[in-house]
């Protein structure tokens, strides 16, 4: 007769064998490009083989299977995923942060985001040939959207219709857009975004940007940030910002993406039309990094008509700050911070 000890030993061996096989299967299912895989966070970014190598590890070509349903953060940036299907994020109802930046998608099927009802932040490279009417369907709780664009025309008039809670929108040009001029004049496109507070635009070429009449009703939109990614000229006109003038509080105009670079570069010119600043009666901060002081000196007196509290601009060798300049600044009753930037330094008064 087999002893109890022998039976117990056999049972333990069987249990250990089963655990080993399941663990091996789980390790096999985990994609090799993933850096984090647990019950709350999955991170599978494209990575270089080493910090000294320009070669990358193999990347994902589809959304990895078996993602835990409980995760709140999913980062798949930089992979070779080309299509998002209706079931790509199936049952990930707890997801709050989804990063798909650096993924050059060809298509997004209708309803691809429909189950992500708790999503708060989305970073996405928008397909240049997408024609979806309501590509963001289901994202009524989304607060932040970072959108890389290669073709303005691909945004249908109803692309934003589901984004009724969006507060922060960043649009980055992958390359110079052909039809940016009328982008902000499309009533049907922008009218759903009544909760928008912060709008950031990163653009390549000089092209007139005019905010259409629909922006008059964006009473929550208090901050505009415009970055020129190439050293070209930019004109800021009264017509450009007129619909924003009743509620705009923070204006940030940057001539180059990397303001902290030590490299001597030929930056473009920023020209602010007379009447622009005095029309922004609620303006509190004006940031003009990489904008020579000489480019704004003649419009500074208009800031007396605003609520300006913080002023930042750039100075280099040929700039001259005169006693008249300081007198203008001295008359800004609400001014609390004056920042004068050189290449990597700032002086605060």
Give residue 242's pLDDT: 92
Q: Where do the domains of the chain lie?
A: 32-221
**Both tokens of residue 317?**
């060798």
32, 57 in Cβ contact below 8 A? yes
- SS3 assignment, position 118: coil
Give residue 338's pLDDT: 86
Considering only 5-9, 24-28, 83-87, 129-133, which range has the smallest mean pLDDT?
Answer: 24-28
Cβ-Cβ contacts under 8 Å for 12 (sequence gap 6 or more): none
Averaged pLDDT of the chain: 80
Task: Say yes or no to pLDDT of 167 above 90.
Answer: yes
CA pair distance 216, 209, nearest whole angstrom? 16
Give residue 149's pLDDT: 86
Q: What percent of the chain has pLDDT over 90?
A: 44
Give 285 or 34, the one with higher predicted confidence: 285
Give residue 271's pLDDT: 82
Question: Other C-beta atoms within 10 Å of 176: how many?
Answer: 15
Q: How many CA atoms lie within 13 A of 97 on its CB side?
A: 9
Give residue 177's pLDDT: 52
CA pair distance 312, 346, nearest whole angstrom? 9
Q: What is the CA angle 15-19-22, rounded to 5?
A: 140
Task: Say yes or no to pLDDT of 106 above 50.
Answer: yes
Task: Say yes or no to pLDDT of 46 above 90.
Answer: no
Q: pLDDT confidence of 152, banded at 50, 70, 90?
A: confident
Q: pLDDT confidence of 219, banded at 50, 70, 90?
A: very high
Give residue 36's pLDDT: 93
223, 244 in Cβ contact below 8 A? no
- SS3 assignment, position 43: strand
125, 103 in Cβ contact below 8 A? yes
Mean pLDDT of 84-110: 93
Q: What is the pLDDT of residues 242-288, one digit of tens each?
A: 999 999 999 998 765 444 444 334 445 678 899 999 999 999 999 98
- CATH 3.90.420.10 applies to domain 32-221: no
Our CA dihedral for 97, 147, 197, 220, rounded to 10 degrees, sits at: -120
Q: pLDDT confidence of 37, banded at 50, 70, 90?
A: very high
Give residue 29's pLDDT: 46
Question: Other C-beta atoms within 10 Å of 345: how many?
Answer: 7
Q: In 54-208, which residue ranges form alpha helices assigned H by DSSP?
A: 187-190
Cβ-Cβ contacts under 8 Å for 323 (sequence gap 6 or more): none
Q: pLDDT confidence of 43, banded at 50, 70, 90?
A: very high
């Amino acid at each position: 007769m087999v002893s109890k000890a022998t039976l117990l030993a056999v049972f333990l061996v069987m249990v250990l064998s089963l655990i080993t096989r399941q663990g091996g299967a789980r390790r096999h299912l985990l994609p090799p490009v993933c850096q984090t895989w647990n019950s709350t966070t999955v991170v599978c970014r494209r990575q270089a083989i080493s910090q000294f190598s320009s070669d990358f590890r193999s990347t994902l070509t589809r959304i990895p299977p078996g993602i835990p349903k409980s995760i709140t953060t999913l980062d798949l940036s930089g992979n070779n995923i080309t299509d998002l299907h209706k079931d790509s994020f199936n049952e990930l109802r707890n997801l709050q942060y989804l990063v798909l930046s650096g993924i050059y998608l060809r298509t997004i099927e209708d309803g691809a985001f429909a189950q992500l009802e708790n999503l708060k932040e989305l970073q996405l490279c928008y397909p240049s040939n997408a024609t979806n009417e309501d590509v963001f369907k289901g994202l009524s709780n989304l607060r932040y959207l970072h959108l890389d664009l290669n073709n303005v025309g691909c945004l249908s008039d109803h692309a934003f219709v589901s984004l009724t809670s969006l507060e922060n929108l960043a649009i980055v040009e992958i390359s110079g857009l052909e039809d940016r001029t009328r982008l902000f004049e499309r009533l049907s496109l922008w009218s759903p975004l009544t909760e928008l507070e912060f709008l950031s635009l990163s653009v390549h070429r000089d092209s007139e940007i005019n905010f259409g009449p629909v922006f008059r009703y964006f009473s929550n939109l208090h901050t505009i940030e415009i970055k020129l990614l190439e050293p070209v000229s930019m004109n800021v006109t009264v017509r450009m910002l007129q619909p924003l003038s009743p509620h705009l509080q923070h204006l940030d105009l940057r001539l180059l993406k990397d303001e902290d670079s030590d490299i001597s570069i030929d930056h473009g010119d920023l020209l602010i039309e007379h009447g622009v600043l005095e029309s922004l009666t609620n303006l509190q901060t004006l940031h003009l990094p990489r904008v020579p002081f000489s480019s704004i000196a003649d419009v500074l007196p208009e800031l007396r008509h605003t609520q300006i509290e913080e002023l930042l601009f750039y100075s280099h060798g040929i700039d001259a700050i005169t006693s008249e300049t300081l007198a203008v600044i001295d008359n800004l009753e609400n001014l609390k911070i004056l920042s004068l930037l050189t290449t990597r330094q700032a002086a605060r008064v």
